[in-house]
Amino acid sequence: MGKIELINISKSFGNKQVISNINITVEEGSFTVLLGSSGCGKTTTLRMVSGLEKPDSGKIIIDGKDVTNKDSSKRGISMVFQSYALFPHLNVKDNILFGLRVRKVNKQEQKIKLQRVEELLGLDGILNCKPSQLSGGQKQRVALARALVAEHSICLMDEPLSNLDAELRHKMRIEIKSIQKRLGITVLYVTHDQIEAMSMADHIILLNDGKIEQQGTHYSLYDRPETIFAAKFIGTPPMNILDKDEMTLLNDEIMLSNKSNDKILQFNFLDIASENQWYIGIRPEDIVVNKSQEGIKGKIVFQHYLGSDTILGIQIKRKNELLSARIRDKNIYNNGDIVWINWLEENTHIFDSNGKREKKYNQTSLNKDKKFKKAS
């Protein structure tokens, strides 16, 4: 129980197309995250699953039944709202039991279910408080309790942690995930926070402008981003992207032109080279910074010390954006230092002119030679 399928769903508000023909399958018992920046349609998608919005076209299927035109209450779902949506005039207990009372569940069962969520979320001592007397974290728990008390197999969550501070958010991430595992429910979770998505999701659906950009496990999204958008969206700092203008082709080699010191990538076949525009991407942690003149020459512009590591901002050409590199050493450079950056070729991501991953290159012709190429 708890499988959700969205088939060819489109939705527009006025003239603005918010969702364009998307297909999503949320597996039973999975923790699926709809990830994307604001305005990408993720909340609209969630609201269509909940029945708070109707799609313009397409079907929504829950557990094999078409629920497209069914009321929210008939879909067997519960929902946690970003603002919690607790009833301010009711105490915690009445808030939690609101739905059960509307559904006229008998008193004995209400009591048992209340006790269950009370234990699950550690609500003892606050059952008689009004929402205004609770802290943000407690409100969040009550909102969760209210969603879970009905014991539906599907729980929809709309950015539930966005109003909490960083420490509490971290705690709640772990807690929500463990509750989901324990109860075996399907969670469809909306967030713009990629860390939240990476840490909680079994399956991530990355949305961009009403379309699915990429979906898969957190590993696949991070290690094999299918598009430049995905590459830049996931990971902090984002993946460094260099475009063709910053590189030159020489026979079967690509060079990053930087006057005297060039990084050379070798390709066995160069279909891609014939295209007008293409890009290469390197994750900041894949960049090796050295002073031994290997790779591309650059200047350190800023250093962000984060404790476990340091983010360096390195300028390799006067005009272009800064490259960021993540290094483990602390305090070994000064701003303005000249350094050389290099990376393993297997860590190079190549994207074509449309920003799509160049599969041929990345799958078959990557030079697996793990040695750094010497600067020519």
Partner 1 sequence: MKRLYGWIFVLPAFILLSVFTFYPIIATLIDSFYSDKTIFRPRVFLGFENYHHLLHDPVFITTLLNNFLFALGTVPASIILALIMALLVSQRTPAKGLIRLTYFTPTILPMIAVANIWLFFYTPQIGLFNKIIGLLGYTGINWLGNPSTALPSLMILTIWKEAGFFMIFYLAALQSLPKELYEAAGIEGTSNWSCFWKITFPLLMPTTFFITINALIEAFRFVDPIFVLTKGGPDNATNLLLYYIYETAFSFLNHSYAATLTVVLVLILVVLSIIQFGVIEKRIHYQ
- Using CB under 8 A, pick the residue from 9, 22, 33, 77 that binds partner 1: 77
Look at residues 269, 246, 267 and name the one whose alpha carbon lies nearest to residue 258: 246
Task: Tell which one of 150, 249, 255, 288 touches partner 1 (CB under 8 A).
Answer: 150
> 133 or 335: whose CB is closer to partner 1?
133
Kindly tell me which residue out of 30, 45, 78, 214 binds partner 1, with binding defined by CB under 8 A: 78
Q: CB of 143 within 8 A of CB of 81?
A: yes
CA 329/CA 296 separation, integer angstroms: 20
Q: Which of 20, 72, 220, 353 binds partner 1 (CB under 8 A)?
A: 72
Count residues near partner 1 (CB under 8 A).
Answer: 26
* Structure-token pair, residue 288: 């090796």
Nearest approach in angstroms of CB 22 to partner 1 is 22
HEC secondary structure over 113-129: HHHHHHHHHCCCCCCCC
| Least distance between partner 1 and beta carbon 52 (Å) | 5
Residue from 20, 56, 61, 85 binding partner 1 (CB under 8 A): 85
Q: Which of 81, 129, 224, 317 binds partner 1 (CB under 8 A)?
A: 81
Contact partners, residue 218, CB within 8 Å, separation at least 6: 197, 198, 201, 204
Cβ proximity of 342 and 294 under 8 Å:
yes
Site residues (CB under 8 A) for partner 1, limited to 95-124: 98-99, 102-103
The candidate with the shortest Cα–Cα distance to 304, out of 286, 319, 282, 284, is: 284
Residue whose tokens read 């390799």: 316
Question: What letters, b where the CB count within 10 A reaches 16 and e where it falls short, cover 185-210?
Answer: bbbbbbbbbbebbbebbbbbbbbbeb
In whole angstroms, the minimum distance from the beta carbon of 43 to partner 1 comes to: 12
Nearer to partner 1, 71 or 329 (CB): 71
Binds partner 1 (CB under 8 A): choice among 9, 79, 117, 172: 79
**Contact between 130 and partner 1 per CB under 8 A:** yes
Tell me: does residue 13 bind partner 1 (CB under 8 A). no
3-state secondary structure of 150: coil
**How far is the C-alpha of 21 from the C-alpha of 53, rounded, in Å?**
16
Residue of 74, 171, 291, 330 that binds partner 1 (CB under 8 A): 74
**Residue 144 sits in the site that holds partner 1 (CB under 8 A):** no
Interface with partner 1 in residues 23-62 (CB under 8 A):
50-52
Nearer to partner 1, 134 or 344 (CB): 134
Amino acid at 342: N
What is each CA distance from 35 to 207, 208, 318, in whole angstroms?
6, 9, 34
Would you say 147 or 247 has its CB closer to partner 1? 147
Q: Whose Cβ is closer to partner 1: residue 55's or residue 313's?
A: 55
Of 29-37, 127-135, 185-193, 359-367, the window that binds partner 1 (rule: CB under 8 A) is 127-135
**Tokens encoding 110:** 């209400």
**Burial grade of 347 (CB within 10 A; 0-12, 13-18, 19 or more):** middle
Task: Tell me how far apart the 2 most distant CA atoms of the chain are, in Å.
Answer: 80
List interacting residues with partner 1 (CB under 8 A): 50-52, 71-74, 77-79, 81-83, 85, 87-89, 98-99, 102-103, 130-132, 146, 150
